[in-house]
């Protein structure tokens, strides 16, 4: 079998970066670097992959001459609008929502003209029979929780679009959690939702408030549904997978496992 070239190794291994758990992309990059063992080729080929990871995972960065962090996207759509009071209303309501529900979270609001930039809607979920997006806004919400000292990292990521022509709010939510103490367990949840927003006439601040009231309601429903599902797993499903106690009717002290004489103890079990 012919050995792969350094470039082919980079392109194949780089796919792991795109599915990297929250906060662990540097660790995976270092592993890839060791596997490829060619820093020159790695530097030449890895740039576009890292850029895709930053946009897909809503990496946040500070703008020049600003201390405010903004979600990195492939295009800065807000640069196409000189003044937009409705975007300002949405950003203000978004900031209030984030400060109330996401400790350390970030939100960026992008006004979109889908006729001018149709590619901007390509990554958003739309219902099969939904009207085409023409004018609207995209809200990118991201909240990361990194706790490597406790062997877990997590990310809540949601993308919302509001179609001004149909007054329909559409959301795509992704939750990714990695727990790796003495093991490797990952949780990946993706959920798509939509809701029609009642028109508020010319009262744009009230419309912005209505939009984020719906976002709050829909995200809360998803979180409560997840809590109920995993509580059921803990209370029922997992308990049915194994015995509550081994045949010895006592818990195993794993720190003293070398001192156990399993055969002798099993022989003393009263059936």
56 burial type by CB count under 10 A (0-12 exposed, 13-18 middle, 19+ buried): middle
Residues 233-257: tens digit of each pLDDT: 767 766 666 666 666 667 767 777 6
DSSP-derived 3-state class of residue 44: helix
Structure tokens at 255: 């720190």
Residues 151-195: tens digit of each pLDDT: 999 999 999 999 988 999 999 999 999 998 888 888 899 999 999
- Look up the pTM and report it: 0.74
Pick the CATH number of 6-56 from 3.90.850.10, 3.40.50.880, 3.30.1140.60, 3.20.20.210: 3.30.1140.60
**pLDDT top residue among 128 and 208:** 208
Average pLDDT over residues 182-209: 89
Question: Smallest Cα–Cα separation from 195: which of 229, 166, 220, 222?
Answer: 166
Residues of CATH 3.30.1140.60 domain(s) within the chain?
A: 6-56
pLDDT at 229 over 70: yes
Residues 116-133: tens digit of each pLDDT: 444 444 444 444 454 455
DSSP-derived 3-state class of residue 132: coil
Q: Quickly name the fold that domain 60-236 has.
A: 3.90.1150
Residues of CATH 3.90.1150.210 domain(s) within the chain?
A: 60-236
242 burial type by CB count under 10 A (0-12 exposed, 13-18 middle, 19+ buried): exposed
């Amino acid at each position: 079998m012919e050995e792969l070239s350094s470039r082919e190794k980079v392109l194949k291994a780089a796919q792991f970066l795109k599915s990297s758990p929250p906060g662990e992309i540097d660790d995976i990059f270092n592993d890839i670097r060791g596997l490829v063992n060619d820093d020159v080729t790695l530097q030449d080929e890895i740039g576009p992959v890292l850029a895709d990871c930053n946009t897909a995972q809503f990496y946040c960065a500070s703008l020049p001459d600003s201390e405010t962090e903004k979600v990195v996207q492939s295009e800065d759509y807000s640069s196409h609008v000189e003044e937009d009071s409705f975007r300002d209303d949405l950003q203000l309501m978004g900031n209030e929502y984030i400060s109330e529900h996401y400790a350390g979270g970030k939100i960026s609001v992008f006004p979109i003209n889908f006729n001018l930039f149709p590619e901007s809607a390509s990554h958003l979920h739309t219902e099969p029979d939904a009207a085409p997006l023409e004018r609207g806004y995209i809200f990118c919400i991201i909240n990361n929780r990194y706790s490597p000292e406790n062997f877990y990292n997590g990310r809540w990521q949601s993308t919302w679009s509001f179609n001004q022509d149909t007054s329909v709010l559409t959301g795509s939510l992704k939750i990714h959690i990695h727990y790796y103490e003495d093991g490797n367990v990952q949780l990946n949840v993706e959920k798509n939702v939509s809701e029609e927003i009642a028109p508020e006439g010319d009262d744009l601040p009230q419309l912005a408030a209505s939009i984020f009231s719906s976002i709050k309601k829909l995200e809360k429903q998803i979180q409560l549904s997840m809590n109920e599902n995993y509580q059921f797993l803990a209370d029922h499903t997992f308990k049915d997978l194994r015995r509550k106690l081994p045949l010895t009717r006592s818990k195993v002290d794993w720190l003293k496992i070398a001192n156990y004489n399993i055969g002798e103890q099993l022989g003393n079990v009263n059936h």
